[in-house]
A and B are shown apart, each in its own frame.
Chain A
Amino acid sequence: MENHHASEMNGVVAEYLNMCIESKHNDLCKKEKDSKDSADADRLCNIEKAYSTVLSELGEDVDREGLLRTPLRAAKAMQFLTKGYKETTQDILNDAIFDENHDEMVIVKDIDLFSLCEHHLVPFFGKAHIAYLPNKKVVGLSKLARIVEIYSRRLQVQERLTKQIASAISEALEPAGVAVVIEAVHMCMVMRGVQKMNASTVTSVMLGSFHDDPKTRKEFLALTMRK
């Protein structure tokens, strides 16, 4: 009977201990979240102050009505434009890979793309065309566009952006081949510097059969670069 009583006590104690651990865990989680939130808020505050400095150093009147909340808006805009740093392909791709017995080319083209030039912090934008030759695994089509978003919403160089998109698809799907073509207009060339209005930059990355087989590449280019 003592044993029974002891085991009952053990059960109660165990339960109590579990509750303690759980609440401590929740507390820790909350603290972590709070500290993460406050770290985020701190960062936003720093960026906001930096933008205030920028406005006054440019000779503007920071107290005029139109500029009163601009540092905050600009800081939030900049955070949005670089939100790709916080996202990973794993987060978005894990559920959307399907087994499918399809081995013909899949192309998603004219994906609007917006990024920031890492050299001048000025936007560049254009279109991305992605193709892959599935090897028993296909991916949800919008996920290709989401991969573009993850890597483009960062401080980027167009060459690296193209390569990152191609590598991400390659690693996730292990297809027979991947091709990515990006055609973009760089505001740093249009609005300043050489000021060439109509110039655009085209970069491409070909992996697997797109790289090895010229016919595959030709088919892809014919299907996407049609005007």
Chain B
Amino acid sequence: MEHSKQTQYSSNEKKDTGDGGSVLNGHFDGMVKRPAGGTVRASAPQPLGAECGSHRSAASVMESWREERTRSVEDNEMSLPSLAAAYTTILRGLGEDPQRQGLLKTPWRAATAMQFFTKGYQEKIIDVLNDAIFDEDHDEMVIVKDIDMFSMCEHHLVPIFGRVHIGYLPNKRVLGLSKLARIVEIYSRRLQVQERLTKQIAVAITEALQPTGVGVVIEATHMCMVMRGVQKMNSKTVTSTMLGVFREDPKTRDEFLTLIRS
């Protein structure tokens, strides 16, 4: 499925028409390329596993990353007045007085805050990762756990926060450790659904490193469930994505899950 809609703000490259999957938020089309454990992607033959329906070359991988950005800093500045006006309407609609001292600049503050909470739309994986992939002869599990994550529920526009645990089995290439946290930032600072967020992080790491396997576990609290609705204070949502050998080999998965618990 092709997502070809251009917003008025995307001044960047046109969407690629060649690849069959896209990680533009909200349109995770499920074409997850399983790491073939091989080298150059262009020569990778059959995709593994049943869900992979598309054959992606190296070029299309890079281009799918290029598609991610939909917003720029100039776009932010241009949309700030209408965002602030919208927030003024919201304040009035709630019965508050937007002219009282505490609320005078609230529309602007709330608009800037919301833009910050969705700054993942301004960033590209490629910018963050390009320099930090290193050739290393290491094939043991690498785990970065307890990465604090803050996102926005796309259904209620209310925060989600929690922790992300990432593990991967390198295949001759390792990634700078903070880059894992930066990938989390890019995808979490958007209007999200926890399931999609988990998958996007896993796929991004897979596409960047072609490791033998990737595992991502997210444990989060949804304010939409805590502050309103069912109002269950202590509930937590856990989602996980296991790719490659993490999915196929139960022992690897167990090791990963044990290490993130400790």
B-contacting residues of A (Cβ < 8 Å)? Answer: 43-44, 46-47, 49-51, 53-55, 57-61, 63-67, 69-70, 73-75, 77-82, 85-86, 112, 114, 118-123, 125, 155, 157, 187-188, 190-192, 197
* B79 lies within 8 A of chain A by Cβ: yes
Establish whether residues A70 and B82, one from each chain, have CB atoms under 8 Å apart when the complex forms. no
**Interchain CB contact (< 8 A) of A64 among B27, B93, B110, B224:** B27
Q: Give A217 Cβ to nearest chain B Cβ, in Å.
A: 29
Q: Which residues of A are found within 8 Å of B70, using beta-carbon distances?
A: 59
Determine whether the beta carbon of A121 is less than 8 Å from that of B106. Answer: yes
B89 within 8 A of A: yes
Residues on B with beta carbons closer than 8 Å to the beta carbon of A58: 71, 79, 83, 114-115, 118, 121, 191
Q: How far is the CA of A192 from the CA of B117 in the complex (A)?
A: 8
Apart from A66-B191, A123-B158, what are 6 other A-B pairs with CB-CB below 8 Å? A43-B94, A47-B93, A65-B26, A80-B228, A120-B106, A190-B161
B94 touches A78 (CB 8 A): yes
Chain A residues with CB under 8 Å of B157's CB are: 51, 54, 70, 74, 77
B46 within 8 A of A: no
The 8 Å CB contact of B82, one of A57, A187, A188, is A57
Closest partner residue, chain A, to B227 (CB atom) = A114
Identify which of A57, A77, A122 contacts B113 (C-beta below 8 A).
A122
Q: Which residue on chain B has the smallest CB distance to residue A86?
A: B95
Complex Cα spacing A50 to B233, Å: 29
Contacting pair B7 A123 (CB below 8 A): no
Q: Which of chain A's residues has its CB closest to B93's CB?
A: A47
Do B94 and A85 touch (CB < 8 A)?
yes
| Residues in B neighbouring A44, C-beta threshold 8 A | 93
Please indicate the chain A residues that have their CB under 8 angstroms from the CB of B148 in the complex.
197
Contact A53 B96 (CB under 8 A): no
A and B contact pairs by CB, cutoff 8 A, 28 listed:
A43-B93, A46-B89, A47-B93, A53-B82, A53-B83, A53-B85, A54-B87, A57-B86, A59-B71, A59-B121, A64-B26, A66-B155, A66-B193, A67-B26, A74-B157, A75-B90, A82-B95, A85-B95, A114-B227, A118-B106, A120-B113, A122-B110, A122-B159, A125-B226, A125-B227, A155-B106, A191-B161, A197-B148
Contact of A50 among B27, B87, B95, B228 (CB under 8 A): B87
User: Nearest 3 pairs between A and B by C-beta?
Assistant: A59-B71, A47-B93, A57-B79
A85 to B26 alpha-carbon distance, docked (Å): 35
* A120 B96 Cβ-Cβ under 8 A: no
Within 8 A of A (CB), among B231-247: 233
Chain B window 76-106, contacts with chain A (Cβ cutoff 8 Å), 1 for yes, 0 for no: 0001001101110111111110000011011
